[in-house]
C-alpha cells in the first residue's frame, strides 16, 4: 500500500514539474528607446529640474505630445529627480521595461485585457515548450502620440482572371 502511495505521489510530482516545464515562458519585448538616449541620467543627472509646464525648445524637440496634453506634461510620467525611471501616481518608481504599469493606471480595461493576452500583440508560442513574447504598450503605441497613424495597405487581390497573362505577383 505504501508503495502505491509513493508511486502516486511521485507520478503527481513528476506531472507537476513536467507540466510547469512545459508551460510557456512569458517575456516582454524591450522598451523601444531611441538609440543613444538611455540612460537619461547621462545628461539629466547634472541638469537642474524645471517643473514648469512648457514646450521644450532646446532638446527633445522631435517629441510632440499628443496624449492628454491639456492635462498632463512630461514630468507627470517621467520621474523628475531620476530620469531613468517612470513615475506612478502613488509616487512609486518603475523601470522603462515595466512601463505597462504606468499605462494601466489610466487605461485600466486595456491593461487588464493586455495582461490576459487579448489586447495588443503576442508572438511565439501560446502553449508547449516555447516562449510567448508580449509586445509592450509602447512597442505599438508611441507614448507621446499613441494614436495609430494610417498606413499604406498591401495590394488588393487580383481580380478573377486578371492575372491570366502570367504577370508575377511581386
Element (H, E) at 25: strand 25-28
Q: Does 78 bind another protein (CB under 8 A)?
A: no
Q: Does 147 bind another protein (CB under 8 A)?
A: no
Which of 20, 36, 71, 153 is the binder for another protein (CB under 8 A)?
Answer: 153
Q: Which stretch in 52-60, 62-70, 72-80, 146-154 sits in contact with another protein by CB under 8 A?
A: 146-154
Nearest-angstrom CA–CA distance, 89 and 77? 8
Which of 6, 10, 119, 143 is the binder for another protein (CB under 8 A)?
Answer: 119
Contacts with another protein, 9-48, as mask; x by CB under 8 A: ---------------x------------------------
The set of cell numbers assigned to 34 is: 531611441
Nearest-angstrom CA–CA distance, 63 and 102? 19
Nearest-angstrom CA–CA distance, 40 and 43? 6
* CA angle, residues 75, 77, 83, in degrees to nearest 5: 65
Is the preceding omega at residue 101 within 30 degrees of 0, hence cis? no
Nearest-angstrom CA–CA distance, 137 and 139? 5
Q: Does 123 bind another protein (CB under 8 A)?
A: yes
Q: Does 52 bind another protein (CB under 8 A)?
A: no
Q: Does 145 bind another protein (CB under 8 A)?
A: no
Residues of this chain that interact with another protein (CB under 8 A) are 24, 116-130, 135, 140, 148, 150-161, 163-164, 166-169
Amino acid at each position: 500500500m505504501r508503495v502505491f502511495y509513493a508511486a502516486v505521489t511521485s507520478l503527481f510530482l513528476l506531472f507537476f514539474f513536467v507540466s510547469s516545464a512545459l508551460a510557456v515562458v512569458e517575456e516582454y519585448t524591450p522598451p523601444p528607446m531611441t538609440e543613444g538616449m538611455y540612460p537619461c541620467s547621462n545628461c539629466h543627472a547634472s541638469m537642474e529640474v524645471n517643473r514648469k509646464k512648457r514646450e521644450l525648445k532646446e532638446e527633445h524637440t522631435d517629441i510632440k505630445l499628443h496624449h492628454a496634453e491639456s492635462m498632463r506634461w512630461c514630468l507627470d510620467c517621467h520621474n523628475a529627480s531620476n530620469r531613468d525611471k517612470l513615475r506612478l501616481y502613488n509616487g512609486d518608481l518603475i523601470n522603462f521595461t515595466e512601463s505597462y504599469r504606468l499605462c494601466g493606471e489610466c487605461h485600466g480595461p486595456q491593461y487588464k485585457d493586455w495582461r490576459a493576452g487579448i489586447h495588443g500583440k503576442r508572438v511565439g508560442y501560446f502553449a508547449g515548450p516555447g516562449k510567448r513574447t508580449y509586445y509592450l504598450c509602447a512597442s505599438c503605441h508611441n507614448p507621446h502620440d499613441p494614436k495609430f497613424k494610417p498606413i499604406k495597405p498591401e495590394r488588393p487581390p487580383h481580380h478573377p482572371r486578371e492575372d491570366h497573362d502570367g504577370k508575377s505577383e511581386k
